[in-house]
């Protein structure tokens, strides 16, 4: 096929030799099957921000670290430079996250290179060597649905133990490779400790799995793995060998509102005293 404009720099720089075909086009990128020497790879060409249809990106970027203060200020102001930096940060997140997750033992495509807004990575294939289908295109038995669901829930646990939440996990960004499910599409990955929306995103990811696999294994529809996982995470009890039940019991202990207010008032008094001392010193 004719070489897409976004792929041309990789041809010129010798990173790939040929574009074989377009594999898919999504809300944030177009993916191509390419040849690099004797290897067949994926090339994910990210769409520019004004052509990308990913809503509420700011929710996902909360808590992410920026290289330096100049870039942070520019991104906050929304200047031309700031928008460019924000776009680079969005794309680099997937590359960084793929390497981190691979190191944690999460089943994701192996990344190889990132050049001119294009991510080169492993082409996930099925048992016959063809490009692996997405989960939503695969017909499942109840037994296989339970197996895949159990595996993916534990992948979510492994990710969270590493401080990462997918943030957009569903049957549309999971491939079914020769060895089972492979998680893809991670530019919106969330910092579990630094994002105020982390809990809701984690629970949504897990609920999406239950809803999809529940079509084939109805017992999953009433499971509460997301809430159970987050409770264990908050308590510092989550680990990769944990045995989950899918059940969750909300705490009935009343919140100590008076105690919280007391702590707030004490902090205010302490700050007021500090300001008085500061004025007196002047």
What integer pLDDT is reported at residue 26 of this predicted model?
A: 82
Higher pLDDT, 133 or 259: 133
Domain positions in the chain: 5-234, 255-282
- What is the separation of C-alpha 162 from the centre of its chain, rounded to a whole number of angstroms? 12
What integer pLDDT is reported at residue 193 of this predicted model?
A: 92
pLDDT at residue 250 above 70?
yes
Q: How confident is the model at residue 280 (pLDDT cuts 50, 70, 90)?
A: confident
Report DSSP letters for 239-255, one per residue: -TT----S------PPP
108/181 Cα distance (integer angstroms)? 9
37/114 Cα distance (integer angstroms)? 17
Average pLDDT value for residue range 92-116 = 93
For the domain made up of 5-234, the CATH class stated in words is mainly alpha
User: Are 32 and 20 in contact, with CB atoms under 8 Å apart?
Assistant: yes
**Most confidently modeled of 66-75, 88-97, 150-159, 192-201?**
150-159
Q: pTM for the full model?
A: 0.78
Integer Rg of the chain from CA:
23
Higher pLDDT, 242 or 93: 242
> Residue 126 forms beta bridges with which residues?
none
């Amino acid at each position: 096929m004719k070489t897409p404009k976004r792929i041309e720099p990789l041809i010129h720089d010798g990173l790939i030799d040929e574009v074989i075909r377009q594999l898919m086009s999504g809300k944030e990128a177009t993916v191509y099957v390419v040849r690099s020497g004797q290897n067949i790879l994926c090339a994910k060409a990210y769409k520019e921000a004004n052509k990308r249809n990913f809503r509420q990106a700011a929710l996902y970027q909360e808590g992410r670290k920026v290289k330096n203060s100049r870039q942070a200020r520019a991104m906050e102001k929304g200047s031309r430079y700031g928008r460019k930096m924000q776009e680079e940060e969005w794309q680099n997140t997937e590359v960084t996250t793929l390497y981190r997750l691979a190191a944690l033992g999460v089943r994701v495509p192996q990344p190889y290179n990132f050049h001119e807004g294009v991510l080169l990575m492993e082409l996930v294939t099925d048992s016959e060597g063809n490009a692996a289908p997405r989960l939503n295109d695969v017909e499942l038995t109840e037994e296989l649905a339970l197996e895949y669901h159990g595996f993916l829930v534990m992948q979510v646990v492994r990710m969270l133990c590493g401080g990462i939440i997918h943030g957009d996990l569903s049957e549309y960004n999971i491939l079914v490779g020769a060895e089972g499910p492979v998680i893809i599409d991670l530019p919106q990955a969330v910092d579990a400790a630094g994002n105020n929306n982390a809990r809701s995103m984690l629970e949504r990811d897990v609920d999406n799995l239950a809803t999809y696999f529940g079509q084939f294994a109805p017992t999953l529809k009433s499971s509460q793995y997301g809430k159970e996982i987050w409770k264990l995470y908050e308590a510092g009890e989550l680990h990769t060998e944990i045995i989950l039940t899918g059940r969750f019991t909300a705490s009935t202990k009343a919140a100590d509102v008076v105690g919280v207010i007391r702590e707030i008032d004490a902090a205010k008094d302490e700050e007021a005293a500090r300001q008085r001392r500061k004025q007196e010193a002047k």
